[in-house]
Structure formats: structure tokens, C-alpha cells
Amino acid sequence: MANTAQAKKRARQAEKHRQHNASMKSMLRTYIKRVIKAIHSGDQAKAEAEYRIAVPVVDRMARKGLIHANKAARHKSRLTHHIRGMAT
């Protein structure tokens, strides 16, 4: 356990940041799941609309360091590939 006032404060801040980051990651997964659900439903217009909503969220999480930039690019690439595959 933290002994100094500074260490106690840092412990409080770390817990607060951990909870906030967990919330942001959960939100990110929710937006990605919404796109996947629209893809599975077969509605390309809805999938594209959900994708346009999800992309800024994915980019923001990568910019803030919550996920790696490559992971963000991988999510966007795979979702785009699935959406474009719906047309054929």
C-alpha cells in the first residue's frame, strides 16, 4: 500500500484512469460490434452507415494510445473488406 501522500494520490489517479480506459475500450468494442451486426444482417447501407460512425471512434482511441495504430488500421481494413464483399 502507498505510504506517502504523493503515492496515495497516484494510486487514486491510476485507478480513475484505469476505469476510464476500460470504459473507452468497451465503447470501442460496441461500435465495432454494431458494424459487424449490420454486416451479418446483409444490409449494406446500414453497414456503411455504422462504419462511418465507428471509424472516428477507432481513430480517436488509437490517437489517445488506448489501442495501437496498427490495430486500429486492421479493424478498419477488415470491416471495409467485409462491407465491400457484400456488394458481390
> 20-61 pLDDT, tens per residue?
999 999 999 999 999 999 999 999 999 999 999 999 999 999
Distance of alpha carbon 68 from its chain centroid, rounded?
11
Distance CA 82, CA 21 (A): 28
> Dihedral angle at the C-alpha atoms of 16, 19, 21, 27, nearest 10 degrees?
-140
3: exposed, middle or buried (C-beta count within 10 Å: 0-12, 13-18, 19+)?
exposed
What's the pLDDT score for residue 2? Answer: 77
**According to the CATH classification, is domain 5-86 in 1.20.58.110?**
yes
Residue 71 binned pLDDT confidence (cut-offs 50, 70, 90): very high
**Percentage of the chain exceeding pLDDT 90:** 93
Taking the model in full, what pTM does it have? 0.87
Mean pLDDT of the chain: 95
CB 51 within 8 A of CB 36: no
CB 17 within 8 A of CB 29: no
Residue 10 binned pLDDT confidence (cut-offs 50, 70, 90): very high
